[in-house]
Amino acid sequence: MRKDAARNRELLIEAAKTVFATRGLHVALDEIARTAGVSIGTLYNRFPTRNELVAAVYAETFERSARLAKRCLEVADPWEAFVRYLRGTCELQIVDRGYAQVCSRDFGAGSAIESAKHAAIASTEQLVARTKDSGLLRADFELRDMALTILATASVGQVSGAREDWERLLNLLLDAFRA
């Protein structure tokens, strides 16, 4: 790829990241192009479909989520680690409307986005296993409860805007999870 194309690619990802975060994934592509300072034609050259742009923008966020899970594995207290991961990953979705939508929409099996999503879920497996092994989690806790918790909390955060609302919900669920 020529270096001007590579630069425009980065400009577009940066612009899209900002616009998606505040207004969601539905924004007009021409607004993203304008924000990036390139033409709509260039946007189509770099990202033939909207989903390719979305995937490029959020690949990094999914990795951040996975890194968070890994970092939490190093926290001594398993419960503290579990809580810290949940708060952190919810926060990622709450500060980024687009990311929350990426996490709840289905982009079709085999798509780059679904793969990234799946990898992010897998990255929590060890964390959940460790917390279960510690005996601090209720016996019937499943991996799926993790996804459920994050989805519910992020959804509330999207709608309500007040941080105390989603934090309250998450605390209630944590109470339910405690063995």
Partner DNA sequence: GCCGAAGTTGAGGGAGTTTTCAACTTCGGC
Partner DNA sequence: GCCGAAGTTGAAAACTCCCTCAACTTCGGC
Q: How far is CA 98 from CA 78, 133, 160, in A?
A: 31, 35, 16
What angle (nearest 5°) sits at the alpha carbon of residue 35, between those of residues 48 and 56?
A: 40
- Considering beta carbons, is residue 45 or 158 the nearer one to a copy of itself? 158
Say how far residue 94 (Cα) sits from the centre of its chain. 9
Q: How far is CA 12 from CA 23, 37, 91, 153, in A?
A: 16, 8, 24, 30
Number of residues that bind a copy of itself (CB under 8 A): 19
Q: Does the protein bind a copy of itself through residue 167 (CB under 8 A)?
A: no
Residue 102's nearest CA partner among 24, 15, 168 is: 24
Number of residues that bind DNA (CB under 7 A): 20
The answer to whether 40 touches 93, Cβ cutoff 8 Å, is no
User: Measured from the CB of residue 102, what is the shortest distance to DNA in angstroms?
Assistant: 16
Site for DNA in 3-62 (CB under 7 A): 3-5, 8, 28-30, 38-42, 44-46, 48-50
Q: Does the protein bind a copy of itself through residue 160 (CB under 8 A)?
A: yes
Residues that bind DNA (CB under 7 A): 1-5, 8, 28-30, 38-42, 44-46, 48-50
Residues that bind a copy of itself (CB under 8 A): 104, 144-145, 148, 151-153, 155-156, 159-160, 165, 168-169, 172-173, 175-177
